[in-house]
């Protein structure tokens, strides 16, 4: 994650379409090594903030920023509590790279959505990418098996919270073990309703494949949602 630098097709199209005024400010949530933040800087933006919860990621991003003589402000911060940033600060809020899906706890996930709304300016644009539960055929049976194991182990039943199936491009044979790291896979209708209930207006909703094949109704890949505050 720290050394990735390519842009996905969906990211390229969304950033080109919505980040149209480079005099405005941008925040990149879950920046990792700064992949998106540095790209936005190359688009001509000079007022960019970026955060990640992993200190080593920010350390790497700051090192690269120094080498590039970049003005991006990198911080260690948690999407659940962004007290580092004032209300109504950012014109463009980027929540790409499925950053919020790494928060499996429902209350914290919802808090992170509210935090995104709080730090975005009135009239500002927020762009989200989510893991889409209904785009992977084995998610439902996998969830059923996991919950059966949780019942046997007398653990809490969890829906749409799934372990990594692959790690480093290899099958994660420990996925059924206890205490695996989980990701929250959203349902399209529910996440749209959640964003609207917070106060966002939905501008665009597409899955990754629909940026390539504009006529398809089949959904594959990440779910991208563009909102206006």
For 37-48, how does the pLDDT look when each residue is reduced to its tens digit (9 = 90+)? 999 999 999 999
Average pLDDT value for the chain:
95
Mean pLDDT of 49-60: 97
Which CATH fold topology does 9-133+185-228 show? Rossmann fold (3.40.50)
Q: Which residues contact 98 (CB under 8 A, 6 or more apart)?
A: 129, 130, 131, 183, 222
pLDDT above 60: residue 65: yes
Name the residue among 143, 132, 142, 151 with its Cα closest to residue 191.
132
pTM of the model: 0.94
Domain boundary assignment for the chain: 9-133+185-228, 137-171
Distance CA 33, CA 50 (A): 10
Measured CA angle at 103 (ends 182, 165), to 5 deg: 25
């Amino acid at each position: 994650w720290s050394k990735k630098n390519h842009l996905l097709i969906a990211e390229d199209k969304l950033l080109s379409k919505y980040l149209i005024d480079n005099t405005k400010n941008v925040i990149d949530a879950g920046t990792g090594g700064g992949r998106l933040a540095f790209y936005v800087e190359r688009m001509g933006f000079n007022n960019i903030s970026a955060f990640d919860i992993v200190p080593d990621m920010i350390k790497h991003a700051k090192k690269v920023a120094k080498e590039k003589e970049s003005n991006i402000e990198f911080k260690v911060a948690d999407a659940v509590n962004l007290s580092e940033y004032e209300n109504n600060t950012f014109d463009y809020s980027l929540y790409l790279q499925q950053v919020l899906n790494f928060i499996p706890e429902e209350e914290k996930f919802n808090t992170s959505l509210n935090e995104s709304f709080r730090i975005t300016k009135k009239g500002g644009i927020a762009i989200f990418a989510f893991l889409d539960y209904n785009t992977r055929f084995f998610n439902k049976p996998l969830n059923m098996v996991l919950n059966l194991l949780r019942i046997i182990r007398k653990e809490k039943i969890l829906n749409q919270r799934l372990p990594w199936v692959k790690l480093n491009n290899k099958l994660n044979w420990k996925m059924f073990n206890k205490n695996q790291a989980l990701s929250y896979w959203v349902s399209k209708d529910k996440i749209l309703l959640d964003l609207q209930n917070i106060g966002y207006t939905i501008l665009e909703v597409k899955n990754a494949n629909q940026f390539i094949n504009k006529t398809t109704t089949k959904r594959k890949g990440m779910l991208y949602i563009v909102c206006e505050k």
